[in-house]
Amino acid sequence: MIGGLFIYNHKGEVLISRVYRDDIGRNAVDAFRVNVIHARQQVRSPVTNIARTSFFHIKRSNIWLAAVTKQNVNAAMVFEFLYKMCDVMSAYFGKISEENIKNNFVLIYELLDEILDFGYPQNSETGALKTFITQQGIKGQPQTKEEQSQITSQVTGQIGWRREGIKYRRNELFLDVLESVNLLMSPQGQVLSAHVSGRVVMKSYLSGMPECKFGMNDKIVIDKQGKGGTTDDPGKSGKQSIAIDDCTFHQCVRLSKFDSERSISFIPPDGEYELMRYRTTKDIILPFRVIPLVREVGRTKLEVKVVIKSNFKPSLLAQKIEVRIPTPLNTSGVQVICMKGKAKYKASENAIVWKIKRMAGMKESQISAEIELLPTNDKKKWARPPISMNFEVPFAPSGLKVRYLKVFESKLNYSDHDVIKWVRYIGRSGIYETRC
C-alpha cells in the first residue's frame, strides 16, 4: 500500500509531504529529488526504485506528484489513485500549479486524510467529498444534525457518490464521447501501430435517484441481438458495430449486470464525471494521412515536402490542425512555402510548425521547405524523427455510436422523454506520427 505521498515543484522543493506508514522515512523525500527530479538525464520511467523503495510519479505541468511505498503494490492502482487525486484537486481549486498548491495546502492535507487511509485509497468521488470538505470553512452556521447524519449515511452507504433529494427544474444530461487516436505510420503509408483510447464523459443534472441505462454499438451486444432475430441483416449491423478491446467503468456502474448481460446500468453521480474508458484497435478511421518526402541535397541542404490528406466526410470540418516537421540539429536557416495555413520554423523546438485552422474532409494540402545546414565536425547522422500531427475532428475515429441513454425515475414524476439529452463526439490526435 502507499506509504507516503509527496508533491514537489519543478525545482524539487517539497510542497506537500504526507507520510502514511513508518517504513517511509524523511530521506525518501530527498532520494526522489536527487535521483529523479535532479537527474541530469530525464528519468523516463514513471516507476523508480531507490534503495528498496518504489516511487511512482506523474507530472502535472511543473508539479511532480510522487507516491512512495516499500511494499509490492499494484502499480496501476497507485497511478489510478494519483490521477484521481489530480482530478479531485482540480475540482477543488482549478489548475494544478505551484501557486495553487501553496495557497490550498491545508485543503490538500485535509483531502489526503480523507481519500487515503493508512495508505489505502478511499472514496475519491468529488461530489461526495464536496459535501463534507468545503472550501469556505465552518463559518456562522454549523451544519445541522440532520445534514451531518445525512452525510454520514451517504458516505458510508451503498451509493456513496450521490446524495438524496436532488431537485432540478429542468432534467438535462450531456454526453461527450472523447477519443484520442494514436498512430505510427511508415514513410510508405503502412500502418505500424494504431489504437484509439476513448472516454465517455457525462454531465448529469437529474432529480432524485434516477436509474440510467447506456447503450452503444458494442459488437458483442449487437451480435447477441442479431442472434435473437431482431435484426435481419447481420452484415449491416456488423459493419456498424465496433470491437472494444477493453473498458473500465465508473464505480457507479453495476459490474455484475455488465458481466452477465453486458448492459451498462447505473445511478449517476451529480455533475460531471467519467462514465467509462475504452480502447479499440480494429477498423480505426484515420482522419488524416501524411505523405512526407525528404531529400538531402549535399551536406548543407535538405528539401522537405509534406502532403496531408483529410479522410472523412466532406461535410465535416477538422479543426486546430498542426503539423510538426522536425529539423536537423545543425539547421542554420529555413525557407517555407505552404498553400494553406501558416508555417513557421521554431528554432527553440527544432521543428517547422504548420498550422491550419480548419479543413474539410476529402481535401489535400501541401507544404515544402528548404533547410540549410551548417557542416559540423561529428559524423553523426541525423536520426530523422517522425513528423507528428495534432487535430480535432467532430466524430469518433473508433466508430463508436451512442445508441441510447435511458433514464428511469420511478419516485418522481418525470420520464425518459422529459429529459433533455445532448450527445457530442470529439476525436483528437494522441501521438499521431508518420516516419519520414
Partner 1 sequence: MPAVSKGDGMRGLAVFISDIRNCKSKEAEIKRINKELANIRSKFKGDKALDGYSKKKYVCKLLFIFLLGHDIDFGHMEAVNLLSSNKYTEKQIGYLFISVLVNSNSELIRLINNAIKNDLSSRNPTFMCLALHCIANVGSREMAEAFAGEIPRILVAGDTMDSVKQSAALCLLRLYKTSPDLVLMGEWTSRVVHLLNDQHMGVVTAAISLITCLSQKNPDEFKTCVSLAVSRLSRIVSSASTDLQDYTYYFVPAPWLSCKLLRLLQCYPPPEDGAVKGRLVECLETILNKAQEPPKSKKVQHSNAKNAILFEAISLIIHYDSEPNLLVRACNQLGQFLQHRETNLRYLALESMCTLASSEFSHEAVKTHIETVINALKTERDVSVRQRAADLLYAMCDRSNAKQIVAEMLSYLETADYSIREEMVLKVAILAEKYAVDYSWYVDTILNLIRIAGDYVSEEVWYRVIQIVINRDDVQGYAAKTVFEALQAPACHENMVKVGGYILGEFGNLIAGDPRSSPLVQFNLLHSKFHLCSVPTRALLLSAYIKFINLFPETKSTIQEVLRSDSQIRNSDVELQQRAVEYLKLSSIASTDVLATVLEEMPPFPERESSILAKLKKKKGPGAVSVNELEEGKREGGELNGGGERGGDSSAIAASNASTPSPSADLLGLRAGPPVTAAAPSAGSLLVDVFSEAGINDDGFLRDLEPTTESSDSLLAEGPGDSDSAPPSVVSEDPTPLPESDELLNKFVCKNNGVLFENQLLQIGIKSEYRQNLGRIYLFYGNKTSVQFVTFTTTVTCPGELQSQLNVQSKPVEPLIEGGAQVQQVINIECLTDFSDAPLLNIKFRYGGALQNLTLKLPVTINKFFQPTEMASHDFFQRWKQLSQPQQEAQKIFKASHAMDTEVLKAKLLGLGMALLENVDPNPENFVCAGVIQSKAQQVGSLLRLEPNAQAQSGEQMYRLTVRSSKDTVSKRLCELLAEQF
Interface of this chain with partner 1, residues 34 to 63, rule: CB under 8 A: 40, 42, 62
Nearest distance from C-beta of residue 275 to partner 1, angstroms: 34
**Interface residue with partner 1, options 331, 365, 388, 434 (CB under 8 A):** 331
Give the nearer residue to partner 1 in terms of CB position, either 41 or 188: 41
Q: Annotation-wise, does 401 bind a ligand? A: no
- Residues in CB range of 232: below 8 A, 6 or more apart: none
Q: In the block, which residue shows the cell 559540423?
A: 376
Nearest distance from C-beta of residue 31 to partner 1, angstroms: 19
Instruction: State the DSSP H helix or E strand holding residue 421, giving kind and residue range, or none if neither.
Output: strand 420-434
How many residues bind partner 1 (CB under 8 A)? The answer is 20
Q: Is 272 helix (H, G, I), strand (E, B) or coil?
A: strand
Nearest distance from C-beta of residue 374 to partner 1, angstroms: 5
Q: Is 222 helix (H, G, I), strand (E, B) or coil?
A: helix
Question: Which amino acid would we find at residue 38?
Answer: H
Residue 144 as a binder of partner 1 (CB under 8 A): the answer is: no
| 386 secondary structure, DSSP code | P
Nearest distance from C-beta of residue 61 to partner 1, angstroms: 9
Distance separating alpha carbons of residues 408 and 414, to the nearest angstrom: 8
The answer for 240, left when phi > 0, alpha when psi is -120 to 50, beta otherwise, is alpha
**Interface residue with partner 1, options 22, 348, 381, 411 (CB under 8 A):** 348
Nearest distance from C-beta of residue 321 to partner 1, angstroms: 23
Query: Strand locations in 90-154, DSSP E?
Result: 116-117, 120-121
Cell numbers for 86, please give them: 489530480
Give the nearer residue to partner 1 in terms of CB position, either 94 or 333: 333
Q: Annotation-wise, does 59 bind a ligand? A: no
Burial 174-209 (b: 16+ CB within 10 A, else e): ebbbbbbbbbebebeeeeeebbbbbebbbebbbbbb
Nearest distance from C-beta of residue 378 to partner 1, angstroms: 5
Residue 297 as a binder of partner 1 (CB under 8 A): the answer is: no
Q: Annotation-wise, does 346 bind a ligand? A: yes
Residue 333 as a binder of partner 1 (CB under 8 A): the answer is: yes
Interface of this chain with partner 1, residues 371 to 410, rule: CB under 8 A: 372, 374-378, 380
Instruction: Enumerate the known binding-site residues.
Output: 342, 344, 346, 355, 357
Interface residues with partner 1 (CB under 8 A) are: 10, 40, 42, 62, 329-333, 347-350, 372, 374-378, 380
